[in-house]
Structure formats: structure tokens, C-alpha cells
């Protein structure tokens, strides 16, 4: 349970005094570990490139060893992610107070001068993006049993954020690289709460920078409409990725297979959903359950947010407490990507896709002459193509 209104007081990780300005700003902040820049500098050996473990939309992430010998993932927020110290710490306070076995632990932060750094518990087994979807560079055997547990664990963490934390938290960036695995391969959701900390728009979504908008609910990408149901959409895409063992977008595949959600829908309609399921050693997969998970993925990615189940219902469906057999699945919503020279702020949609199939006409247009490449979007369902830019 989270409470914004109680006055809180800072808990220092280090008794040394901070700057006067900071002391004034945070004099009544409680229960937030404040790390000095110097101690994080030491922990990461000067933020050395050998300790750098990743780079995302929020900034760079370093592995570090804290003074108590605990390993940490130290996230240096990029320079455009500025907000006042008080607002920053208020958000940090909320994130720090949230504890769940499927959510990453935020140890504390550093707010010195221009520095904004977050210190997280370190997860030993990397992210799903680097392991399951990383193109065979991982030694982890993703058995069906393990994948099932990962899907259910992520659903539990998200249900907690959506329905048990007060006020509820919308993650906004559920994707394979934000699902980390601990030493026992338990899934841990990272980066929750950060969207509010950084910016109200889409600028933190690295999938855009990386060139695929595959996890974004259409209404979020186009109208910036953020609800818990936009997280449900992203979870649905992730679910399909985990079961199929492939990325949501793969332009090396034949046209009709490039978009995972479209592929899933086509196979569902053909009554061949089992073809979406990854290859497992003989007998290692419960194919009926895997197909059920795929159907749940399609329910989560329905075009209309109202048709998507809540996360607690998704969880009940995954563990078999709610039957999905009779659930009606409609055509999912899918976002196609356009790259053009428009002003990103307007996010003007140019959905002038001619044909009414998901596949074939992906709508991707590359303007190689544009020096300033920005992204706008088109979506369509099979049945309708319409301008949603207003």
C-alpha cells in the first residue's frame, strides 16, 4: 500500500553530508536511500565501459558493487530526463515502497547536481530479450515449464501493479528487455514507475528508437492514451513471444510471418495455432496449454481496449481458473510503422494503407532523404482502416 500524503524523511545510505540545496529539498524525505555520486562512481569503477550492461531509453545501466558488497544495476538517467528533486524523490519513494516477488527492487537513488541515478537489485540472468529472444546466445533451456512460469510470474507482477498498488501503476513499457531473470530464472519486471518519472509522452519507449513499435497498443502510440489496457496489450505481445520464441517483428521472415500478432491471428483463424508454438524436444510441451496461452495473447491484443481482459482475469486464464474456451476473439489491433519527416509532436497518422490485410502491405515507408527521422503510425484491423489522428 502506498501513501503519498504522509510526510517522509530521507534515509541516507551514507552519513556524509550532501549539498545544502539537496539537504533543503529533501529534508523531509524519509525511507529513500540516497547514494552519493562518489560512492556510485566507486561502485562502477568510474562508470567504466567494462561494467556497462545495457543502454535503454532512460540512459545507461552499469553493474556495480555497493559498499556492503551487494551487486546492483545502476541506471544513469539521461540528461533530458530532468525534473525537480522533490518530484523526483516523491516518485522514487513510491517505487521504493513497492515490493513483490516479480518486481525489481529499487534500492535507492542519487540526486546530486544534474545527476539522476537509480540503484536496483542486480538480476543474474539477464533479460528475456537477451536470452530467449537473443538468437541462441544463451545457455538457458527455455522448457515449456519454465516459459509457463515466466508468463504467470509476469502476469502476477503486472496484476499487482494494476490492481493492488494504490494508486495503481501503469507500466507503459512492458517488453522482453524489461523482463529480467533472477538466479532461479524467476521473472522480474523492471522499469515500472519510470515513465512518470521521466516524461508523460512516448520518448522513453526504446522500441520506437530501435525501429519497432510492436509492443505498443494502437491507442497509446497514436493518441497517447495510457490505460492499464495498454499494458495488457503489451503483455499479450510478450506472451506470444514467449510461447513462440520469436520477436514480435522479424523482417527477415516471409511477409505473412513478419508480424507476430498478425501471424497468430491468421493461424487462429485457420485453426492451426499450434504452428505458432516454438519447437520443443519431444514431449516437453503441453501443446493444449501453449495454444491456450496464444489465445490469451490474442485476447490481450484486441483492438478495442474494452475487449481486452484485465490483468487479474489474464492471470486466472493462464493458471486455468477462468476458461478461455468460449471466449470470442476478434481481429487484434496492430500498429504499422511509418518513418517520415513529420513533426513527431503532431504524431499525425498517415494510414493510407491500400489493402485490408495485415500482411503484404506493411505500410512501412522509408524516407532515406530525411535527415531528421521521426516516426508516426498507422494502425488497421482487417475490417477497417481509418484515420485516428484526431
Instruction: Cite the active site residues.
Output: 173
| Residue 62 makes contact with ligand ADP by CB under 6 A | no
Kindly state the helix (H) or strand (E) to which residue 153 belongs, with its residue range. Answer: helix 144-159
| Residue 122 makes contact with ligand ADP by CB under 6 A | yes
* Interface residue with ligand ADP, options 56, 187, 305, 363 (CB under 6 A): 56
Cβ-based nearer residue to Mg ion, 100 or 331 = 100
Span near ligand ADP by CB under 6 A; candidates 56-64, 237-245, 250-258, 276-284: 56-64
> Which long-range contacts link 355-358 to residues 24+ away (Cβ below 8 Å)?
356/380, 356/382, 356/383, 356/385, 357/382, 358/259, 358/262, 358/265, 358/266, 358/334, 358/382
What is the rounded distance in angstroms from the CA atom of residue 361 to the CA atom of residue 373?
A: 21
Kindly state the helix (H) or strand (E) to which residue 337 belongs, with its residue range. Answer: strand 334-340
What is the rounded distance in angstroms from the CA atom of residue 228 to the CA atom of residue 300?
A: 11
Cβ-based nearer residue to ligand ADP, 57 or 378 = 57
Evaluate whether 323 touches 350 at the Cβ level (below 8 Å).
no
Closest to 218 in 3D by CA, of 227, 230, 208: 230
Residues 177-196 touching Mg ion, rule: CB under 5 A, are 178, 191
| Residue 131 makes contact with Mg ion by CB under 5 A | no
Cβ 127 to ligand ADP, closest distance in Å?
A: 4
Closest to 160 in 3D by CA, of 189, 138, 183, 137: 189
Q: Convert residues 33-62 into a mask of x (bound to Mg ion by CB under 5 A) and - (unbound).
A: -----------------------x------
Residues 68-107 touching ligand ADP, rule: CB under 6 A, are 73, 75, 104
Identify what 297 binds: ligand ADP, Mg ion, none; CB under 5 to 8 Å per kind.
Answer: none
* Interface residue with ligand ADP, options 33, 81, 159, 177 (CB under 6 A): 177
| Residue 61 makes contact with ligand ADP by CB under 6 A | yes
What is the rounded distance in angstroms from the CA atom of residue 62 to the CA atom of residue 74?
A: 5
What is the rounded distance in angstroms from the CA atom of residue 142 to the CA atom of residue 288?
A: 18
Q: Convert residues 341-360 into a mask of x (bound to Mg ion by CB under 5 A) and - (unbound).
A: --------------------
What is the rounded distance in angstroms from the CA atom of residue 67 to the CA atom of residue 13?
A: 10
Cβ-based nearer residue to ligand ADP, 188 or 353 = 188
Cβ-based nearer residue to ligand ADP, 174 or 291 = 174
Cβ 204 to ligand ADP, closest distance in Å?
A: 9
Q: Phi first, then psi: give them for residue 38, nearest 5 degrees.
A: -60, -45
Evaluate whether 233 touches 301 at the Cβ level (below 8 Å).
yes
Provide the binding-site residues for Mg ion, judged by CB under 5 A. 56, 178, 191
Interface residue list for ligand ADP (CB under 6 A): 53-58, 61, 73, 75, 104, 120-123, 126-127, 130, 177-178, 180, 190-191, 206
Amino acid at each position: 500500500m502506498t501513501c503519498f500524503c504522509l510526510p517522509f524523511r530521507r534515509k541516507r545510505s551514507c552519513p556524509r553530508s550532501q549539498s545544502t540545496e539537496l539537504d533543503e529539498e529533501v529534508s523531509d524525505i524519509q525511507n529513500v536511500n540516497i547514494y552519493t555520486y562518489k560512492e556510485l562512481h566507486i561502485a562502477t569503477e568510474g562508470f567504466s565501459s567494462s561494467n556497462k550492461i545495457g543502454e535503454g531509453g532512460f540512459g545507461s545501466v552499469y553493474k556495480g558493487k555497493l559498499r556492503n558488497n551487494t551487486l546492483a544495476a545502476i541506471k544513469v538517467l539521461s540528461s533530458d530526463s530532468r525534473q525537480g528533486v522533490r518530484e523526483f524523490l516523491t516518485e522514487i519513494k513510491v517505487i521504493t515502497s513497492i515490493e513483490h516477488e516479480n518486481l525489481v527492487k529499487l534500492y535507492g537513488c542519487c540526486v546530486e547536481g544534474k545527476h539522476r541515478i537509480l540503484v536496483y537489485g542486480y538480476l543474474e540472468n539477464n533479460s528475456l530479450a537477451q536470452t530467449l529472444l537473443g538468437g541462441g546466445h544463451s545457455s538457458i533451456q527455455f522448457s515449456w515449464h519454465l516459459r509457463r512460469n515466466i508468463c504467470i510470474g509476469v502476469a502476477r507482477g503486472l496484476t499487482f501493479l494494476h490492481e493492488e498498488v494504490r494508486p495503481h501503476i501503469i507500466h507503459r513499457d512492458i517488453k522482453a528487455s524489461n523482463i529480467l531473470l533472477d538466479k532461479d530464472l524467476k521473472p522480474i519486471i523492471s522499469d515500472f514507475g519510470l515513465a512518470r518519472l521521466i516524461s508523460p509522452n512516448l520518448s522513453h519507449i526504446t522500441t520506437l528508437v530501435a525501429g519497432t513499435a510492436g509492443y505498443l497498443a494502437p491507442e497509446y502510440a497514436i493518441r497517447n492514451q495510457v490505460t492499464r489496457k495498454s499494458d495488457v496489450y503489451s503483455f499479450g505481445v510478450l506472451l506470444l513471444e514467449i510461447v513462440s520464441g520469436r520477436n514480435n517483428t522479424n523482417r527477415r521472415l516471409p511477409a505473412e510471418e513478419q508480424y507476430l500478432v498478425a501471424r497468430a491471428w491468421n493461424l487462429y483463424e485457420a485453426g492451426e495455432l499450434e504452428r505458432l508454438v516454438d519447437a520443443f524436444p519431444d514431449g516437453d510441451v503441453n501443446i493444449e496449454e501453449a495454444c491456450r496461452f496464444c489465445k490469451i495473447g490474442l485476447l490481450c491484443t484486441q483492438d478495442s481496449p474494452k475487449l481486452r481482459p484485465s490483468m487479474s482475469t489474464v492471470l486466472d486464464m493462464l493458471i486455468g481458473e477462468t476458461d478461455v474456451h468460449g471466449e470470442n476473439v476478434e481481429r487484434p489491433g496492430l500498429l504499422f510503422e511509418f518513418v517520415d519527416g513529420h513533426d513527431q509532436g503532431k504524431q499525425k497518422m498517415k494510414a493510407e494503407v491500400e489493402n485490408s490485410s495485415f500482411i503484404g502491405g506493411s505500410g512501412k515507408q522509408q524516407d532515406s532523404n530525411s535527415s531528421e527521422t521521426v516516426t508516426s503510425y498507422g494502425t488497421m484491423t482487417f475490417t477497417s482502416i481509418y484515420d485516428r489522428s484526431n
